[in-house]
Amino acid sequence: MKHVNDLLSDYLDGGLDAAERAAVDAHLVDCAECRGELEQLKSVLAWSKSAAKTPPPSGLEARLHARISRERTPAGRGRWWVAPGVLGTALAGYLAFLYVRAPQVTEHMIEMDRAHAPGPERFEQLPPPAPAEAEARAARAQAQAKAAERNEENRAARREAASLNGKSEATRSMAPPAPKPVPPMDELSSAPAVQPAAPMADLIGAESGASGGGGVGASNFLAAEPMAAKKAARDFTEPEPTMQSTEWRGPRCAIAKQSLLVIRSADEWRRLWRKAGLLPPAPPEINFDLHLVVAAFAGRDPQGRTIELLPAEPSGSEVTVPYRLVPGGGGETTAYDIKLLPTTPLDVRFTEETPAK
């Protein structure tokens, strides 16, 4: 009998009829290869089942309920009745435009507009004005929704930019246009003023094929979504200091190589924190849906200088993160400055600020 590889899956599921099953049983007695495959298959499936057990993230149910609640409100679900109003307004605007340009046709079209504009009954359906407290609550909810929407747009723009460039998001964020050797500390001051982030793989090892050059230039993203890039630049603001730390800075860490990095995932963040040997051993929690991390490591410096990241600024198609070396004098340093920024689809570039002569 020929091998039974094609039947093993059905055999495992008990999907064979009695005759087929007996034939497979008989074959397995004699064929070590098929027996081996069956054993492998059983082990791999059992392993996969146990590896797949994943509890949902905490708070997921509440977030889903909140999202559905938005759908339940008239504003969320009422596209069917909002639509005529929106269309009417748009039509009115268009008619006004035509009125200026071609007064001879407006009379007829204004009649049409009256037919489409929202009637008084629409306004009667609106709820009475909310009391002050409810208004404040609504404003807060609106602000939160807006922030979530902006974040969603950012994520979508990043996903789309990554897709457009055929790269995974992790690859896109980590890989500069062309990996180059990290200059030694002595050369840092004479290095080009604008520097892309170093490849993550160089420093903490790539786990998912993020190494290699050919990163995404901002120009590709801009070519595809110029408006989105402009909006992203407009929306970019550094976070206000809160109870939670947004910056970690010190004169010594375990990274002795000069590096400038952008971190966009919890996995990379964990590895970087471990590699830098910072305390506490567990890295601070960061929501990478909302933030990214920029990190500057000055490398080993006998002159004892430290490094400081200055406020980031959007500039055209990218976000510029200036940094400077601060003179010290307390012996050799391996200084670092790590900072949270709001997530952005724009490329992040580092620029060195040299002290005024």
Residues that bind other proteins (CB under 8 A): 5-6, 8-10, 13, 15, 31-37, 39-41, 43-45, 47-52, 54-57, 60-61, 63-65, 67-68, 71-72, 77, 155, 159-160, 163-168, 171, 207-209, 220, 224, 288-289
- Token pair recorded at residue 195: 């520097």
Minimum distance between the CB of residue 211 and other proteins, rounded to whole angstroms? 11
Minimum distance between the CB of residue 184 and other proteins, rounded to whole angstroms? 32
Q: How many CB atoms lie under 10 A from the CB of residue 98?
A: 15
What DSSP character marks residue 102? -
Minimum distance between the CB of residue 271 and other proteins, rounded to whole angstroms? 12
Is residue 31 left, alpha or beta, with left meaning phi > 0 and alpha meaning psi from -120 to 50? beta
Cβ proximity to other proteins, 89 vs 220, nearer residue: 220
Asked if 116 and 91 count as a contact pair (C-beta separation under 8 A), the reply is yes
- Token pair recorded at residue 278: 């910072």
Cβ proximity to other proteins, 16 vs 182, nearer residue: 16
Cβ proximity to other proteins, 25 vs 39, nearer residue: 39
With 0-12 / 13-18 / 19 or more C-beta atoms within 10 angstroms meaning exposed / middle / buried, residue 296 is buried
Cβ proximity to other proteins, 40 vs 144, nearer residue: 40
The residues facing 326 across adjacent strands are 306
DSSP 260-297: EEEE-SHHHHHHHHHHHT-SSSSPPP--TTTEEEEEEE
Cβ proximity to other proteins, 106 vs 220, nearer residue: 220
Minimum distance between the CB of residue 213 and other proteins, rounded to whole angstroms? 15
Minimum distance between the CB of residue 17 and other proteins, rounded to whole angstroms? 13
Minimum distance between the CB of residue 104 and other proteins, rounded to whole angstroms? 43
Residue with tokens 């198609």: 317
Taking every pair of C-alpha atoms in the chain, what is the biggest distance, in angstroms? Answer: 93
DSSP 198-251: PPHHHHH--SSS--SS----HHHHHHH-HHHHHHHHHH--PPPP-SS--EEEES
Cβ proximity to other proteins, 31 vs 117, nearer residue: 31
CA of 298: how far to CAs of 189, 194, 254, 306, 335, in Å? Answer: 11, 16, 11, 7, 5
Cβ proximity to other proteins, 187 vs 289, nearer residue: 289
Minimum distance between the CB of residue 13 and other proteins, rounded to whole angstroms? 8
